[in-house]
Amino acid sequence: MYKYCKILPYPVRIKKKNLKMAKLIVTQLGGPNGELGAALRYFSQKFNMPDDKGKALLNDIATEELGHAEMISVMVHNLLKDASIEEIKNEGLDCYFTDHGKGIYPIDASGNPFTASYFASTGDVFADLSEDMAAEQKARATYESLIDLSTDDDLTNALLFLRQREIVHFNRFKELYDYYKCKLNN
């Protein structure tokens, strides 16, 4: 059961449009290391966790990832806001604009749409938790690349928050992995 709180996990206060960054940041919504894939991965995997501890952790992190997807969507929206058709064309977003206008659509930075093939749910607790740790590391690395490309402090601060959450998630998955290694004698 969900209860939606009408606040973002971290305030997104981007005031300047930047179509180039919008084109790059959208990958954290619909790209291979993005928040949408993470949320769906953890929701799918939670059912095969051997106890309520694992199910709860995966469900909690999946829910948080949806909040991160909303943050990314707000970032992209704010970065595109007030862009002219000429600016959209100049930044190579004309194909995106043709299909989606200035709407938010889950794609990677190259324009490839989100696909469920970005994640797996094997039913094996150790395989899934290993994938989860790797996914969090890849997302962290992507955020670090975006931070390096950012020239806007408001954008950078929001990206730093998201990067830090990836580290926290990695640590929680590692703790759960280690817990199951001891508990299940594997």
The per-residue pLDDT for 6 is 85
Q: List, in order, residues 6 or more apart from 140 with CB less than 8 Å away.
A: 163, 166, 167, 170
* pLDDT at 1 > cutoff 70: no
Closest C-alpha to 77, from 160, 155, 166: 155
Residue 38 φ/ψ, nearest 5 degrees? -65, -45
Asked if the model's pLDDT at residue 2 lies above 90, the reply is: no
Q: How confident is the model at residue 3 (pLDDT cuts 50, 70, 90)?
A: confident
Is residue 112 helix, strand or coil? Answer: coil
pLDDT digits (tens, 9 = 90+) for 72-113: 999 999 999 999 999 999 999 999 999 999 999 999 999 999
Q: Residue 87 is encoded by which pair of tokens? A: 């600016």
What is the model's pTM? 0.95
- Distance, in Å, from the CA atom of 172 to the CA atom of 100, rounded to the nearest integer, reads 37
Mean pLDDT for the stretch of residues 54-61: 98
> Is a pLDDT exceeding 70 seen at residue 186?
no
Decide: 177 and 129 in contact? Cβ < 8 Å: yes
Please state which CATH number belongs to domain 19-183. 1.20.1260.10
Backbone torsions φ then ψ of 128, nearest 5 degrees: -65, -45
**Could you state, in order of their start, the residue ranges of all structural domains in the chain?**
19-183
- As a whole number of angstroms, the distance between CA 168 and CA 59 comes to 15
131 in Cβ contact with 119 (< 8 Å): yes
Average pLDDT for 113-136: 96
